[in-house]
Amino acid sequence: MDSTVRTGTEWLWSALGGDPGLVDRVSFTGPSGLLPARLPVMDLARASVAVAGLAAVERAGLPGPVRVDDGAVATAFTSERYLRVDGRAPVNFAPLSRFWRAADGWVRTHANYPHHRAALLAALGVPSGAVEEVAAAIGGRRAVEVETAVYGAGGLAVALRTPGEWAAHPQGRAVAEGPLLTRERLDEAPPRPRTGPPRVLDLTRVLAGPVATRTLALLGADVLRIDPPGNPELPDQHADTNVGKRTTVLDLERPSDRRTFGELLDAADVLVTGYRPGALDRFGLHRPGLVTARVSAWGEHGPWGGRRGFDSLVQAATGIAVVEGSAEEPGALPAQALDHGTGYLLAAAVLRSLTERDRDGGTRLVRLALARTGHWLTHALPAYDPGRYLTESQGPLGRLRHALSPVAYEGGPAGWSRPPGLPGADAPAWAGPTA
């Protein structure tokens, strides 16, 4: 197993509270060079899928091995691009979901949902929604001014920040100070005696939460997704992420639907939520013995703790888009890796919590955030640094910096025994004694 892959898998499995001895059950295979990026995206993808598999075999009592194929991982992390509905390609981003030039930098907006699009246009004062008019409205304002106005109107927009600017931002500091994920035991509720597959209530939106519950459905859970009336999931997102699940519609503001939801929650093993922190608190979601898993964009602490967000916005705000971009324009990861990676981590955390709850009891709470996954990607995983593989030597040609040899083994040479000399300066004879 590649040391970077093993390190990432071991790190995540430790964060999940797993038995370190189980990591040896993971085997990696498949084509190399997938999901290329400046940041170690493929390592994040492999490791998050690996721990989901480890949590599954642990819960099922199976010996493994857990097989992680890079081809399958890379394809799954870009699953929305390969989706076809009767031969039609999906619509992944609406015309107003993109980067825009502001007066002093760049702004990233997200307007895939109709209500977010309406809020964006209201904040900018552009009722027509014409791309050129939106561009002009943003281009005449400072990036942070656009961010503040759009969020204030209930829309989604963030100013592009460098890694250093995000590190200095109050929300960036809050993210950096917290763990990748949290798993808590809230009480001493006894183990649940119910048999059969775990029942999972899915109150999530694109993309991390649905990836997690899609994975739980694959592993045998009875997953019931609930959407509010009049605001269903986008059709292509539904087709991509709701495989294996059943879906229904409930209006939690309506007393009869609220009672139905309460009955479902009473019999549930797991509740997964993907709405902004605090949005569902008024509905009384606590039940003894329940595993609750919450995923958010920015985390639950800090000045942005109550904000909505999506993968593309987190990449822009946290400096990832700067790292992956150029001097001319921002870039992006080769996949919505924060969403997908967090989704598989969330599934693993739910499975581990179910395993522990069934054994020891207790009500469990799991919390993850896209921004925390992004922090792990940019800080905990080793990115490619050519400097680690260079050395310097002094010789007849002067002081040289050159690449280390990739041929290495235990007991082997640390490097060449001599630097390059002046052309033609050596005698035409062997350096050592002749036989």
Whether cis (ω within 30° of 0) applies to the bond prior to 207 is yes
For residue 407, what pLDDT is reported?
84
Could you tell me which of 309, 342, 383, 358 has the C-alpha nearest to residue 156?
309
β-pairing verdict for 157-159 and 105-109: antiparallel
Q: Per-residue pLDDT tens for 74-112?
A: 999 999 999 999 999 988 899 999 999 999 999 999 999
Is 411 in a helix, a strand, or coil? coil
Long-range pairs, 281-285, Cβ under 8 A, ≥24 = 283/252, 283/258
Average pLDDT, the chain: 93
The model's pTM: 0.88
pLDDT band at residue 434 using 50, 70 and 90 as cut-offs: low
pLDDT confidence tier of residue 408, bands split at 50, 70 and 90: confident
**Window from 54-68, 273-287, 317-331 with minimum mean pLDDT:** 273-287
pLDDT at residue 433 in the model: 76
pLDDT score for 195:
81
What pLDDT digit, counting tens, does each position of 119-160 carry? Answer: 999 999 999 999 999 999 999 999 999 999 999 999 999 999
Residue 30 to residues 10, 22, 46, 193, 343, Cα–Cα distance (Å): 20, 21, 11, 41, 22
Three-class secondary structure of residue 133 per DSSP: helix
pLDDT in tens, 337-376: 999 999 999 999 999 999 999 999 999 999 999 999 999 9
Residues 416/421/423/429 CA torsion (nearest 10 deg): -80
Say whether pLDDT at 388 is over 80.
Answer: no
Residue 32 has pLDDT above 60, yes or no: yes
- Given this model, what pLDDT does residue 231 score? 82
